[in-house]
Chain A
Amino acid sequence: MADSTDLPRLTAADLAAKLTAGEVSSVEATQAHLDRIAAVDSRIHSFLHVNTEEALAAAADVDTRRAAGEELAPLAGVPIAVKDVVVTKGQPTTAGSKILQGWIPPYDATLVERLRAAGMPILGKTNMDEFAMGSSTEHSAYGPTRNPWDTDRIPGGSGGGSAAAVAAYEAPLAIGTDTGGSIRQPAAVTGTVGVKPTYGGVSRYGLIALASSLDQAGPCSRTVLDSALLHDVIGGHDPRDSTSLPEVPPSYTEAARKGADGDLAGVRVGVVTQLGGQGYQAGVSAAFAASLEELRAAGAEIVEVSCPSFDAALAAYYLILPSEASSNLAKFDGMRFGLRVEPADGPVTAERVMAATRGAGFGPEVKRRIILGTYALSAGYYDAYYGSAQKVRTLIQRDFAAAFEQADVLVSPTAPSTAFPFGEKVDDPLAMYLNDVATIPANLAGVPGLSLPNGLSDGLPAGFQILAPARADERLYRVGAALEARLDQANGGPLLARAPEIEVKA
Chain B
Amino acid sequence: MSTINSDEVARLAGLARIDLGPEEIEKLAGELDVIVQAVATVSEVAGDDVPATSHPIPLTNVLREDVVGQTLPVDEVLAQAPAAEDGQFAVPQILGEDA
Contacts and interface: CB of A to CB of B under 8 A. Distances in A.
A315 B59 contact: no
A370 interface: yes
Contacts of B2: 381
Given A200-B59, A316-B42, A375 B12 contact: yes
Given A315-B38, A391-B51, A392-B42, A359 B19 contact: yes
Interface of B: 1-2, 4, 8-9, 12-20, 24, 28, 31-32, 34-36, 38-43, 45-46, 50-57, 59, 62, 64, 72-73, 76-77, 79-83, 89, 91-97
B97 A347 contact: yes
B82 A340 contact: yes
B28 A385 contact: no
Contacts of A355: 14, 17-19
A394 B28 contact: no
Contacts of B39: 315-316, 318-319, 385, 389
Given A103-B80, A200-B59, A368-B28, A374 B92 contact: no
- Interface size band for A: 35 or more
Contact of B54 (A213, A330, A372): A213
B3 to A, nearest CB: 11
**Closest 5 pairs between A and B when the two form their complex, measured CB to CB:** A446-B56, A359-B19, A391-B46, A340-B82, A390-B52
B51 A394 contact: yes
Interface in A371-405: 371-372, 374-375, 378, 381, 384-385, 387-395, 397
A351 B50 contact: no
Interface string A188-201: 00000000001110
Given A106-B80, A239-B64, A354 B42 contact: no
Contact of A340 (B4, B42, B83): B83
B1 to A, nearest CB: 7
Interface stretch (A26-34, A331-339, A408-416): A331-339
Contact of A388 (B35, B46, B76, B77): B46
Given A354-B17, A367-B13, 13 more contacts: A213-B54, A315-B41, A319-B42, A336-B82, A337-B80, A339-B82, A349-B95, A351-B17, A371-B13, A375-B32, A388-B43, A429-B35, A446-B56
A444 B81 CA distance: 35
A470 B81 CA distance: 40
By CB atoms of chain A within 10 A, which of B17, B28, B42, B53 has the most? Answer: B42
Contacts of B80: 103-106, 337
Contacts of B79: 104, 106
Nearest to B72: A106
A446 B72 contact: no
Contact of B12 (A338, A356, A371, A385): A371
Nearest to B77: A106
B57 A243 contact: yes
B42 A385 contact: yes
Contact of A107 (B72, B83, B94): B72
By CB atoms of chain B within 10 A, which of A356, A368, A372 has the most? Answer: A372
B57 A470 contact: yes
A349 B38 contact: no
Contacts of B40: 315, 384-385
A326 interface: yes
7 contacts: A335-B91, A347-B97, A358-B19, A384-B1, A393-B56, A397-B56, A429-B31
Interface in A95-145: 103-107
A394 B48 CA distance: 12
B68 to A, nearest CB: 14
Interface string A421-463: 0000000011000000000000111110000000000000000
Contact of B45 (A199, A214, A334, A391): A391
B39 to A, nearest CB: 4
A126 B40 CA distance: 35
Interface string A350-368: 1111111011101010011
A213 B18 contact: no
A255 to B, nearest CB: 20
